[in-house]
Amino acid sequence: MTKLSVNINKFATLRNSRGGNNPDVIKVAIDAQRFGADGITVHPRPDERHIRYNDVREIKKIITTEFNIEGNCTEQKFVDLVLETKPHQVTLVPDALGQLTSDHGWNTILHKDYLINIISVFKNAGIRVSLFVDPVIEMIETAALTGTDRIELYTEGYAKEFIINKEKAITAYISAATKAKELGLGLNAGHDLDLQNLKYFSQNIPWLDEVSIGHALVCDAIYLGFENTIQMYKRQLQ
């Protein structure tokens, strides 16, 4: 079954908006695991506007499931943090400094040589690497040449089109996922997946390894409860 990794950034955003330590993101990580999450995802940014670098260090101490750190590997501070904490997986995202949220995948053709070098740094440390990419065949073919273990399909385009035409929305993603499978790449997905569109996505790409979901899941948890929401998301992946 596809694994659910819960991105807890939004809990840190709430904490930081008021100061103090409420909610406690370490307890959030512990509870997410206890409530059935298959993994925890964090995305520390240089300005630490949500997850802080020290949060990552503290979460590593208590993690009992898979730990996935997302971020911009062109920032040396991020690279150093990943090598220090050694998560199970690092997801490389081409964010610009100060970017509100991730909104595009890597141009693996343009950045091929750079990606080969940085991926080898993480793999030599025993860390699985996933590259954030758009559902474009050429980008996936070149991703396979970089040495990455997995790709993560950027799914905002799917989520937007889903409410209009779900068959059209999934087409490019099936093609991209099929190509990744042919090339021997593991497959993750994330961004704007929710209780409405997740099941259809996973049913059409049953070899999907993992989804990383944060914003929608946290929003649902406000109304439905954190434990209940995690279980509802997992049911969509069955």
- Which residues participate in catalysis according to the annotation? 43, 70, 191
Q: Number of folded domains in the chain? A: 1
- pLDDT at 99 exceeding the cut of 70: no
Domain holding 16: CATH number? 3.20.20.70
Q: How far apart are CA 36 and CA 38, in angstroms?
A: 6
**Residue 95 pLDDT grade (very low, low, confident, very high; cuts 50, 70, 90):** confident
**Domain of 100, in residue numbers:** 3-236
The predicted-structure confidence for 135-157, as pLDDT tens digits, reads as follows 999 999 999 999 999 999 999 99
- Please report, for residues 85, 169, 179, the alpha-carbon distance to residue 135 in angstroms, rounded to integers and kept in the order given: 30, 11, 10
**Residue 98 pLDDT grade (very low, low, confident, very high; cuts 50, 70, 90):** low
- Which of 76, 73, 86 has the alpha carbon at shortest distance from 132? 73
Q: Phi and psi at residue 161, in whole multiples of 5°?
A: -75, -25
| Helices 215-224, 9-18: inter-axial angle, 10-degree rounding | 70
**Residue 97 pLDDT grade (very low, low, confident, very high; cuts 50, 70, 90):** low
Q: How far apart are CA 202 and CA 208, in angstroms?
A: 7
Alpha-carbon torsion angle 8, 10, 13, 14, nearest 10: -110
Q: Are strands 3-7 and 210-213 parallel, antiparallel or unpaired?
A: parallel
- pLDDT at 222 exceeding the cut of 80: yes
